[in-house]
Structure 1
Amino acid sequence: MASLSSLLNNPILVSTGPFIIIFLIACIWFRAGTIVSLLERVWRLAAGKAEISDSKLIKLNKELRDIEQFNFLYGFKIKSIGQMHQIIEWMEKHKLGFADIRSTKKWIDMRTMTIQLPSESYIKWRIAGFIFCALLLMLTSFPLGLKSALLQFKDSKTWILLDKHKAEGLISNWVLGVNQCDGSQESKSLIPELTKSEKEIICQSFQDKEVTEYVEKTLHTQRLLFGFIFVALVLSIMNIAMKIKSYELARKLQETLAKPNN
């Protein structure tokens, strides 16, 4: 059973720990707008129990902490207590929930407390981007699930799928297996997409250990590359979907606020 000291001395944790801490601080700073609360704690650690005696400074620090907490929890970028009170009063007046406001905060004009939507081209481009990423995701899933290395010959520019037992065309419907390499030249000549030297290279790959290792290494790199692209596309699709949802919620909220009883 691992002890706490062994976990803390883990080389991976030791090497990545500072970067994780910096990343977390940057995330808090970005979302809250400031890090006064964090700096105040650092000051208390450095100066001990030194207390602030000035009443105005105490009030200012309290307001800054309230603003940071409000921005961090609800995702706003307010800069004063007045703006915070304005949002809360606006919500109470129109009987709005924080879930609605948090999803549509991007479209709220803090000066006029109204919903300001972009032009229709905004949502059209997001829908087009969603469809484009979805199509790329489908294409990326194909090489990600392959058990053969995807290679291209320089001379014929032919793309092939190669493993330990056979090579097949990515587009053309042909297969060159181990049995064909051991057989007559006639079976190999039925593949016009490849040059003679390329066919020999494929046959050699079934026997040559170095070539086999190269194919396995290429397959590993291929999976890592397309796996990274796959994850990036999934995150992009989620991001676009959230933006489309935010736009639709803001549009409905705008219609609700435009009613006479609001």
Structure 2
Amino acid sequence: MTFDVDSFVSSGKHAAAVIPVLIAFGYAFLRAGSAFPLLARAWRLVAGTSPISNERIAAYLRDQRDLSSFQFHSGLRPHSLRQTTQLIDWSDANDVSIERISKCGAYFDLRSLMINEAVLPSKGRTRLAGVATLVLLASTGGLLYGAAMMKYAYLSFRDDGRHFAIADDGARTLRWTLPALPAYGPALDKARCDTLSAGAAAAGFSVEQTSVLCKALGTPELDKMATENLRAQRLFVLFLAALVVGLFWSCGAWVNKTRAARTLSEELRERRSTNSGAGLATTADPT
């Protein structure tokens, strides 16, 4: 049986076209904090757009649609329309935008409409997290650079398990130094193998290893194995880089939320001290 490569490639292209749609649905679900908009649209596709006769049910569905819309656009998670309107009223009364409140994350309590300083990290912890964020960013750059510049494939001998590195310039002995950096010996290439006498060792390899490498260098089998290993090594490094990017994003978002909450807390506290009669709700005092 043969495979139709053109049909396979065409099917892969059609499957790849679905990925952005799935990403859009996933983003809408996470942003809105509810599957209600997606389920409501699916229901309209199945049952049509006929009006709901029961007014209480219709009102509930309208409220849920409005609540999900607010959650999607603001990034906040009020539990009801009443809590939503209270939040909007507080935003207008204190001249603080909904977007700025959203940047505070969970540090802004939607029930009491205050920034809860009891759970707000100290400035020292925030600075330390900021330094960690920069370290993660530098690590990401280092991993990506390492993946791009990687030219040695790491293989091992079947008999003794000793590792060695191989590239276009030949095979080299390999040893690891701290912090997990490879150190390479001199190269053993095909030209040098042709000058060696029988039973000779070269480039830090034993007699048996030198003999095996000299027979394998330049063969399609070794070239294929080296290419596959090099590709796998790069994919592994890229996977590590993706993990570090996730940590960087999470740590950076935490730092930004903490700083936004602290800045808003200090600003509202200053307003309250200068205009105590305005009755501004600022921060919850730590207990």
TM over 0.5: yes
Query: Of the candidates 179, 188, 196, which is equivalent to residue 184 of structure 1?
Result: 196
Q: Point out the more displaced range, 46-55 or 23-32.
A: 23-32
Q: How does 1:35-184 map to 2 (within 5 A)?
A: 35-116=35-116, 117-120=119-122, 123=126, 126-127=129-130, 129-130=132-133, 133-134=136-137, 136-137=139-140, 138-139=142-143, 141-153=145-157, 159-168=163-172, 169=174, 170-184=182-196
Deviations 1:177-227 (A, max 9, x none): 3322222359x74644x3332333332332322111111111122222222
Is contact 2:104-2:257 (8 Å) kept?
yes
How many residue pairs end up in the alignment? 252
Give the Cα–Cα distance (whole angstroms) in 2 for the partners of residues 85 and 236 of structure 1.
Answer: 35
- Identical residues among aligned pairs (%): 20
Query: Hey, what's the Cα distance between the residues in 2 that align with 1:135 and 1:156?
Result: 37
Kindly provide the amino acid, as one letter, of the partner of residue 221 in structure 2.
E
Counterpart position of 2:179:
none
SS in 1 for 2:239: helix
What's the Cα RMSD here? 3.2
Partner Cα distance (2:222, 2:245) in 1: 34
Q: Which has the higher contact order (CA 8 A, sep 6+)?
A: 2
CA drift at 1:65: 0.9
- 1:198–1:190 Cα change, 3 Å: closer
Whether the 8 Å CA contact 2:185–2:203 is kept in 1: the answer is no
State the match for 2:4 in structure 1: none
TM-score, normalising length: structure 2 = 0.73
AA in 1 matched with 2:126: I
Q: Give the aligned residue type for 1:183.
A: T
CA contact (8 A) 1:144 1:227 kept: no
CA separation of 1:129/1:159 partners in 2, compared to 1, >3 Å: closer, same or farther? farther
> TM-score, with normalisation over the residues of structure 1?
0.79
1:199 equivalent in structure 2: 210
Unaligned runs of 5+ in 1: 1-8
Q: What secondary structure, in the 3-state scheme, does the structure 1 residue paired with 2:129 have?
A: helix
Give the distance between the partners of 2:36 and 2:64, measured in 1 at CA.
7
Deviation at 1:13, TM superposition (A): 5.3
Match of 1:212 among 223, 226, 239: 223
